[in-house]
Chains A and B, each alone.
Chain A
Amino acid sequence: MTKFALKGLLGRKLRTALTAIAIVLGVTMVSGTYVLTDSIDKAFDSIFTDVRQGSNVIVSGKSAFDLSDGSGATAPAFDEDVLEEVREVEGVALAEGSVDSESAQLIGDDGKAITYGGAPNLGFSIANGESPFNPLTLVDGEWPGPNEVVIDSATADKEDFAVGQQVGVQAAGAVEELRIAGIVEFGSVATIGGATLAGFDLGTAQRLFDKEGELDEIAVSARAGVTDDELIAQLEEVLPETTQVLSSSQQAEEDAEGTNEFITFLQGFLLAFAGIALFVGSFVIANSLSITIAQRTREFATVRTLGGSRRQVLGSIVLEALVIGAVASVVGLFLGLGLAKLLFWLFDLAGFTLPNSGLILETRTIVVALLVGIVVTLLASLRPAIRATRVPPIAAVREGATLPESRFHRFRTLGSLVTIALGFAALLYGLFAGGLGTTQLLAWMGIGALLIFIGVALFAQRLIRPLAQFLGWPATQIGGAAGKLARDNARRNPQRTASTASALMIGLALVTLVAVLAQGITSTFRNSVEEIFIADYAITAQNNFAPIPIAAAEAAADAPGVEAVASVRTAEARIFDSNEFVTAVDEGAVGAISLDWIEGSQETFAELGANGAFVDEDYAEEHDLAVGSPVPILTPSGEELELEVRGIFDPPTGGSPFGSVTFSTDTFDRLYESPRNLYSFVGMEGGVTDANTAALESALADFPNAKSQTREEFVDNQISGLSAILNILYVLLALSVVVSLFGIVNTLVLTVFERTRELGMLRAIGMTRRQTRRMIRHESVITALIGGVLGILLGIVLGGLLVARVEFIAFSLPTTQIVVFALLTIVVGILAAIFPARRAARLNPLEALQYE
């Protein structure tokens, strides 16, 4: 029987290969995800370890509370006198202090700040080039002296910077022209994710970063024979409250916390898409196997008459699936390496450059990829295999014997409806039950969506006839007899058409879901901005989210025609025992930002004073705040202040520019070191005019990091980050659409094979090759459209439910995208038909007539 199964596979090479493609693609995604995330992880690890090379322990500033990861907030700097105290500690061999910044921007030839996507612009001091703590290697030139800078080779190459030339650098203050002293490379990592590097001597760095007389870190090496723990103990005796000391490896771990979280998220995120592709793939495999098994009814019956048991029939099919799954998984595993490369490139293109120091193939990747591929194939083969065992031996001698129906056939409709209902129940529970953690919520939603897809796929069989009738109408109009036959063929085997279309349905449902969410977010956001933003221009960073020096807003205020400037600053604070984003706004907001006040008025902006604050309605309710209520806040550097509520506002659905608590910029500047603006809104006489735009731009000429935008541009730019994420989502979901496209190809090839005699008859009685191709193509497009329409409708429903759950999004139908998806569906149908149609048209009518 083993031989029988393997020979069978070889005899059906094309069909086997087509079936396997679905699994290959899914496994590729799994393996690609692991390779990608492992490679990033490795690259980050070496970055964080390299940074700490040569040191035993690290002294750093300590914030008054644990900062949130990924918030961009950093621990406060400490007094540089600490360095002298550290050097006097007995166990210390060498200690050097440094400062750093995540927004030390180099200015390009065009006068604009150089940024690559959302990557940081890292700046730091290099106390002494030959220092054992220095993770950089000099490629060209020398280490920086006062008013000099060294930059990384990647940036130097891209921007054509050479040693000896002047370059503009801006961090906390105005732009300074510095001489490029050297070109450097960082440790063993080829790229560190699009970040630019700028190294300075300590004094220059302190001045640039507005940290004069302060340090962010002290790297310490121990004398021979002193352990890290001993050294830490000695240091702790002399270090002030505002600092902490950790071993280098602990510090590296702490540094990596944020990125590890990001990598874990990225891995889960990509694996989810791999799971979707595999789920779609399992549909394709189950369908392909069902068809081939139906076509081999006689073969199984013959095996049975020759004495084969049901178990042997089952065994031979499962073995086939096992072989297909194993081969496909191995192929997918290696294609995953290519996919990882492609994803690096794709993320780079979308503006999220990832660090890369070579591809990593872990044993875990190999095990998981193979296991998942084989198990999914086996599971998908079970149902058709069990059906094959029900073929009675008598079918061997009967003309046109068909596969017996499953025992549960009559429960199919009921079963599918129950499955759909259970799916929605799980989804709704996940969405609206409340009190669920993110993982639980996602799990409930995932299970719900899975059940809904399976249920709809099972139920779709009932919808095929009317849908094909309706969606096939255009084909009958433009395709003539071929179009009519295509429609009839699509309706001929509803179960088969339903399974084929369902695979595509899943991909389209998810794509539509994403589009609905995106449309909801953007339209709600746009409405909110239009409601709140009553000024004419906005000033933001070149990359839309980096902070801008306050001087930029001050320069703008002096520009001719400027009536009001409202700047918004943001930071993290500890309020009522939780980490909150707080914002600050200046009195210019009265004429530039409009809020819907429940308590207070526009004038509140100007009346915040030294301890006034306003909060949004939800925050007020949550903490039982009214006008006059005290709000005590604690900053990372340990500053404390009791604010008093002066106003409560009702934010629009799409949110406001303000955090939980907002106070005056004066107060902010007293509480936080080196304050900078997130953005500023500018009202000008005469509104948006070319003259005003020019005036504002010339006022900002000295601030390469800042750009002025009209309200429309501001909205578009804020949304552009979302578009990049959307494009990534679409690309990832495209994979499952490609899998389902192969599903259609597969079904059509099998169908053509099955209808050989019929096609021969049609050719004999006058159907041209062209008409034959057209017939297959129309059938393909009709099948695709059935999947597309079901998917789009399902996507709208699912998207609508999600939008209903999320407070800050209102439902809005993405009409354009839906039209595009429908057209895309037709394209999928046409593409899927190319190969099968060609095979059908090439059939020699004679062979067709002799075929039996």
Chain B
Amino acid sequence: MEDGNTAAPTSGEAVVVASEVTRRYGEGDTAVDALRGVSLEIEQARLTAVMGPSGSGKSTLMHILAGLDKPTSGSVAIAGTEITALKDTDLTKLRRRHIGFVFQFFNLLPMLTAEENIVLPLSIAGEKPEGAFFDDLIDKVGLADRLSHRPSELSGGQQQRVAIARALVSRPTVLFADEPTGNLDSTTGHEILELMRNSVDSYGQTMVMVTHDPRAAAIADRVLFLADGLIVKDLPRSSEGDILAAVNSLMTAGATTGA
């Protein structure tokens, strides 16, 4: 099941649109501009990677695109809804329907079983999983025999699989992954990346992944590079080597301009 083999829904349509987004933390002399006017579109059924050195604003950008944080100026629309003016409850409900999350530290609830963790977003929304899709999802993430285990009885890789299944279970418009392999060894990380790529291909799942690992970015359809709060490079699907080269060139550029 490599790319292109599955009939993905129409790709290319923008599901998240950000224009001229700025984000400033603090006030006065100590104010920090995390984002300084970012515009971008996240296209449907594609995996977009966001890269950049720490402090480049990549996490801030993800939080704003996912409706967890609000921009200081500019606008963000998720699935056609402008979110900058939404109240907390409406924003939460929008996240319920349209957004899925995968975190670096898995963030599973220790007292729930794998299955309960997976269906948690649905329970919170007061919904039940669709039988066929759910079975297929469990099959895909390879957890069929682990469903009744608690997180403490699972390996790191298995925990992240549970987290991915939890993010996919509500079939969100867009799934955000924050350094999903950051807390895993390389073999396990590789398996997780395969699973993510697979979900994009087979479910047509739109994904945004924040990472600083070129190997992870290499599975993306598009790689955005952030530096000092601005998008400085936008690559189509690239090899690990090309991405590493791009990172290095940015770092040198940053070193010459920044110093």
**A residues near B, CB below 8 A?**
480-482, 484-485, 488-489, 491-492, 757-758, 760-771, 845-846, 849
Contacts and interface: CB of A to CB of B under 8 A. Distances in A.
Contact of A767 (B101, B124, B166, B170): B124
Nearest to A770: B89
A72 B73 CA distance: 84
Contacts of A489: 111
A758 B121 contact: no
Nearest to B108: A761
Given A485-B109, A489-B111, A761-B107, A846 B68 contact: yes
B19 interface: no
Nearest to A766: B96
A757 B107 contact: yes
Interface of B: 63, 66, 68-69, 88-89, 92-93, 95-96, 99-101, 103, 105, 107, 109-112, 120-121, 123-126, 166-167, 170, 178
A762 B109 CA distance: 9
A769 B125 contact: no
A764 B101 contact: yes
A846 B124 contact: no
Nearest to B125: A766
A765 B105 contact: no
Contacts of B105: 757
Given A764-B101, A765-B124, A846 B63 contact: yes
Contacts of A849: 63, 68, 103, 107, 178
Given A768-B89, A768-B92, A762 B124 contact: yes
A815 to B, nearest CB: 36
A765 B120 contact: yes
Contacts of B112: 488
Contacts of B103: 761, 849
8 contacts: A488-B109, A764-B99, A765-B96, A765-B100, A766-B93, A766-B96, A846-B63, A849-B178
B95 A764 contact: yes
A482 B68 CA distance: 21
Contacts of B110: 492
Contacts of A767: 92, 124
B107 A769 contact: no
A90 B112 CA distance: 98
Contact of A492 (B68, B111, B126, B178): B111
A758 B95 contact: no
Nearest to A487: B111
A47 B123 CA distance: 71
Contacts of A488: 109, 111-112
A481 B63 contact: no
A481 B126 contact: yes
Contacts of A484: 123
Given A481-B120, A846-B63, A763 B109 contact: no
Contacts of A761: 101, 103, 107
B95 A766 contact: yes
A766 B111 contact: no
Nearest to A775: B124
A529 B156 CA distance: 74
Nearest to A490: B111
A767 B99 CA distance: 12
B56 to A, nearest CB: 16
Contacts of B69: 846
Nearest to A484: B123
Contacts of A769: 88-89, 92
A482 B125 CA distance: 10
Given A768-B92, A849-B103, A758 B109 contact: yes
Nearest to A849: B103
Nearest to A763: B92
A125 B96 CA distance: 86
A94 B101 CA distance: 99
A480 B92 contact: no
Contacts of B121: 765-766
Contact of B68 (A481, A491, A764, A768): A764
A768 B121 CA distance: 11
A433 B131 CA distance: 68
Nearest to A852: B105
Nearest to B66: A764
Given A485-B109, A768-B89, 4 more contacts: A766-B92, A769-B88, A846-B68, A849-B63
Given A480-B126, A481-B123, A849-B103, A765 B111 contact: no
A189 B4 CA distance: 98
A761 B93 CA distance: 14
A846 B95 CA distance: 14
Interface core residue of A758, A768, A770 (most chain B CB under 10 Å): A768
Nearest to A760: B107
Contacts of B99: 764
A482 B99 CA distance: 20
Contacts of B126: 480-481
B89 A765 contact: no
Contacts of A845: 68
B168 to A, nearest CB: 12
A57 B68 CA distance: 88
A849 B120 CA distance: 18
A624 B27 CA distance: 95
A480 B127 CA distance: 10
A482 B124 CA distance: 7
Contacts of A764: 66, 68, 95, 99, 101
A761 B117 CA distance: 12
A769 B91 CA distance: 11
A771 B107 contact: no
Contacts of A485: 109
A770 to B, nearest CB: 7
Interface core residue of B63, B88, B124 (most chain A CB under 10 Å): B124
B123 A768 contact: no
B95 A765 contact: yes
Nearest to A769: B88
Nearest to B176: A764
A765 B123 contact: no
B89 A481 contact: no
A492 B96 CA distance: 26
A151 B124 CA distance: 73
Contacts of A771: 124
A491 B92 contact: no
Contacts of A491: 111
A768 B87 CA distance: 11
A849 B69 CA distance: 12
Nearest to A493: B111
A765 B166 contact: yes
Contacts of A760: 107
Contacts of B124: 480-482, 762, 765-767, 771
A809 to B, nearest CB: 46
Identify the 4 closest CB pairs spanning chains A and B, nearest first. A766-B96, A481-B123, A761-B107, A488-B111
Nearest to B90: A768
Contacts of A480: 123-124, 126
Nearest to B183: A399
B72 to A, nearest CB: 14
B118 to A, nearest CB: 11
Given A488-B112, A846-B68, A758 B107 contact: yes
B5 to A, nearest CB: 30
A765 B63 contact: no
A762 to B, nearest CB: 7
Contacts of B89: 768-770
